[in-house]
Structure 1
Amino acid sequence: MFTGIVEELGTIAEVTDQGDAIRLTVEASTVLEGTVLGDSISVNGCCLTVSALDEGRWTADLMQETLDKTSLRGAAPGDRVNLERAVTVDKRLGGHIVQGHVDGVGEIVSRSPSEHWDVVEISLPIHLSRYLVDKGSITVDGVSLTLVEVHDASFTVSLIPETLARTTLGSRRVGDLVNLEADVIAKHVEKLLGGYLPTSTPTANDEEE
């Protein structure tokens, strides 16, 4: 589990194509402190398992499912990525509960810079819209953000100077793809309430149609 508070910006050093998978090697420093093989590190919001460690870099294996469902399918050497180690029980939950399980990929639709922050609009896969509410939480490329406005097919967030300086969201341009994760609590509530909500049954007229 993660909090959506990025610890550092890493750099992709190598991408090794294995056909139906890739090996991703990332240069980093902070997230390697205390890290051992098998630990989890979030890369742009995607939970990856450390499979190899070297001086100043670490490697993870990405299967086809990850490539199909996240923006990491377009990863290339030199790309900057948001990194966060899995949270421990003695740490403050600075953002919100983040699983590192990407729900969908959005696209930067627009950026509106102001003197002290940027307002960014991001497209939203239609199946995720029901989990988003104004002033609720969303994870964008591993960054915990507060939603400003939610629309059927997009949403907006305001990025403060700290977020612009310390994450990749400061350099994302219109058209760039980003990983999205909805608040897991909303998904659990939906499933729990599903057993109490009425279900529609076909009527005679429906069957005739």
Structure 2
Amino acid sequence: MFTGIVEELGTIAEVLDQGDAIRLTVQAETVLEGTGLGDSISVNGCCLTVSELGEDRWTADLMQETLDKTSLRGVAPGNRVNLERAVTVDKRLGGHIVQGHVDGVGEVLSRTPSEHWDVVEISLPGDLDRYLVDKGSITVDGVSLTVVEVREDSFTVSLIPETLARTTLGSRRVGDLVNLEADVIAKHVEKLLGAYAPNRTPTSTHTPDSDEEE
């Protein structure tokens, strides 16, 4: 589990194409402290397992499912990525409960800069809009953010200077793809109440209602 508070900006050092998988090596410092083989690190919001460790880098194996469902399929050496170690029980939950399980990929539609913050609009896959509410939580590329406004097929967030400086969201441009994870509490509530709702089939994270209209 993660909190959506990015600890460090890492750099993709190597991408080894294995056909139906890749081995991803990331150069980092902070997230290597206290990390061992088999531990979890969030990369742009995607939970990956450490398979190799070096002095200033670590490696993970990404299977086809990860490549199909996340923006990590497009990473290349030199790219910066948001990194966070799995949270421990003695840490403050500064963001919200994040699993590192990407629900969908959105596209940056617009950026509106202000003197002290940027308002960013991101497209929203149709099966995720039911989980978002104004002033609710959303994870974008591993960053815990507050939803400003939910629109018909998109949503907006405001990025403060700290977020702009310490995460990749400061450099995301219109057209860039970002990993999205909805609030897990909303998904659990939907499934629990689904059995009692008339004319509605309970859903899971991976099997949205095919006949549901928003």
TM-score (norm 2): 0.93
Unaligned runs of 5+ in 1: 201-209
Residue pair 1:126, 1:152 contacting (<8 A) in 2 also: no
SS in 2 for 1:48: strand
SS in 1 for 2:135: coil
For 1:199 and 1:13, locate their aligned partners in 2 and report how far apart those are by CA, in whole Å. Answer: 51
Give the CA deviation at 1:184.
0.3
**What is aligned with 2:86?**
86
**What is aligned with 1:10?**
10
CA deviation string 1:144-165 (max 9, x = no partner): 0000000121000000000000
**What is aligned with 1:161?**
161
Letter in structure 2 aligned against 1:16: L
**What is aligned with 2:151?**
151
Letter in structure 2 aligned against 1:101: H
For 2:92 and 2:39, locate their aligned partners in 1 and report how far apart those are by CA, in whole Å. Answer: 19
**What is aligned with 1:43?**
43
SS in 1 for 2:130: helix
Letter in structure 2 aligned against 1:191: K
**What is aligned with 2:205?**
none
Letter in structure 1 aligned against 2:28: A
Letter in structure 1 aligned against 2:123: S
**What is aligned with 2:132?**
132
Matches within 5 A, 1:13-92: 13-92=13-92
CA deviation string 1:31-59 (max 9, x = no partner): 00000000000000000000000110000
SS in 2 for 1:174: coil
Structure 1 stretches of 4+ moved >6 Å: none
For 1:58 and 1:97, locate their aligned partners in 2 and report how far apart those are by CA, in whole Å. Answer: 25
CA deviation string 1:166-186 (max 9, x = no partner): 000000000000000000000
Identity %: 88
**What is aligned with 2:175?**
175
Q: Rg larger in 1 or in 2? A: 1
**What is aligned with 2:197?**
197
For 2:162 and 2:176, locate their aligned partners in 1 and report how far apart those are by CA, in whole Å. Answer: 21
Superposed CA RMSD: 0.6
Aligned length: 200
CA deviation string 1:15-43 (max 9, x = no partner): 00000000000000000000000000000
Letter in structure 2 aligned against 1:113: P
Residue pair 1:6, 1:143 contacting (<8 A) in 2 also: yes
